[in-house]
Every structure is written in structure tokens, then in C-alpha cells.
Amino acid sequence: MTTAPVESTAPEQGTGRDAILRAARRAFALRAYAEVTLRGIAADAGVSPSLIVKRFGSKEQLFHTVADFQPVADELFAAPPAELGRHLVLTMLRLRDEFRGDPLLRVVFSLGRDDERTLLRDRFREQVTARLAAILAERDRELRAELIAGQLLGLGTTLSLHRPGAANLASAERIADLYAPGLQRLIDGD
């Protein structure tokens, strides 16, 4: 598999692009690359296979778009360290609404041994965890970055598992009030 340029994973309403990306994230996370077909993704997304080819070029290019965490990381880490905990929670919640699903959770399903799943984990490590470590103060920065990434994945998992749940009754601000202080302690290195 060759590396192809990737485009932003931000949703574009009215184009089918967001539905294609949601379907592709599910497909690539749950099945081996060889088992995923553009026809299957198209059926799940409610679009034609030709629209996928028009938007993404090929299954490989679509996979590389799905495996790119850079746009999400750009939004997640767009706050100074002193405000990052709250920003992470509020941004995750906003992105969940925009993507109609968790923007990071697909990495949890990449625990198989296939090359594409390894690529997904490696990209997550490089684009999310290592980038976060570079923001943190020196002491235990890699460990703290991994723990913060785990906390973000845990938040996404919890909100997905308990749908509908108590979080549906709480505002994003209230969830941030409860969840962000623990993240901030890890960010600060206390």
C-alpha cells in the first residue's frame, strides 16, 4: 500500500462526503482492508460508488483520508496548555456532533494486525499522541500524552456506550466542568 495525499476529514454538508467518511471509518475500523469494498461503503453511506471515486479517487485514497487524524488534532490542540483540558473536552463534544460520531474512536477498533490497522495506530500515535507530548512540559511528557489520549478515547467510548444516557441531559459545559480538571492535571504534570 502506497502513501497517498490526504484531504481534510471535516464534513461538508449536502455533498455526501460526510456520509461516505462515516461509512468508511466504520468499514475500515471493523474489517480488514481487503474485505472493504467501495460498493459496501456506498451502500452504507446511501450514495453511489461513482460518487466515492469522484470525491476520493480510489479505495486506497479513501483509506488514507480516514486514517488522517491531523485535522482533528489541529482543532484539539488549538489552545494554550493552561486552558487545554477544558478545550479538549469541549472540542471533542463539538466534533462528535459535527461528525455524528467520535473523531478519534476509530483507532480503538484498529487493534488487529493488518497493515492498514497498524498504519491507523501509527498515524494516531504520530498525529495525536506525539504532537500532544510536544506541547507538554518535559517531565513524563510521553506518559502523560498517552494517558490524556486514553482519557479522550474513554470519553468518546463512554458517550457512545451510554447513548442515550445522562450525557444527553447535560450541556457540553457541564461535561467539561466534570471531566476537564482531570485532563488538566495530566497536562500540567501535577
Cα angle at 157 between 77 and 93, to 5 degrees? 45
**What are 34-91's pLDDT values in tens digits?**
888 999 999 999 999 999 999 999 998 998 888 888 999 999 999 999 999 999 999 9
Q: Which residue has the higher pLDDT, 165 or 113?
A: 165
Of residues 125, 123, 115, the one with CA closest to residue 1: 115
**What does DSSP assign to residue 83?**
G
Q: What pLDDT does residue 140 have? A: 95
pTM across the whole model: 0.77
pLDDT band at 4 (very low <50, low <70, confident <90, very high): very low
**Residue type at 138 in one-letter notation:** E
